[in-house]
Amino acid sequence: MVLPADMRMMNMNQSALLRPDWTPATVALMVLGFVVFWPLGLAMLAYILFGDRFNTFKEAANLSVDDLVSKCRGWKTPGASPMRESGNVAFDDWRKAELARLQEEQRKLDEMRDEFSSYMRELRRAKDQEEFDRFMQDRNLNRSK
């Protein structure tokens, strides 16, 4: 998207005011930060001193994390899968049946929660309607007087 010339100039002026350098705006923000809450002033001082290095630091940190994640992708932890077979057929069958039963209980609880939420919504709607009707009656009585 192309910005009009005056918008581009305004954006350049705003970014120039807050560049990591000793500009009047950054010094004022630093002093204000120290007055309001000292860690803010300290953060602004760090931005003034080291702000030009933040982008390279961010890129280096991202590369390090990417390397670490790519190395860890191939690792498999023993016992990490909750559905791995135990080797005992009877136990595995029992566990599957219990998990199915628990899932059915969870489904029933979810249905009950939804029904209760619907019931509470209806109660709130009825209460709101009653209060609104009372307001309208009072309003009409006050107008007729």
Q: Are 30 and 44 in contact (CB under 8 A)?
A: yes
Say which range, 24-28, 80-84, 100-104, has the weakest mean pLDDT. Answer: 80-84
pLDDT tens digits, 106-132: 999 999 999 999 999 999 999 999 999
- Give the least confident one: 7-11, 46-50, 106-110: 7-11
The C-alpha atoms of residue 140 and residue 10 are separated, in whole angstroms, by 56
Distance, CA of 141 to chain centre: 49
pTM of the model: 0.37
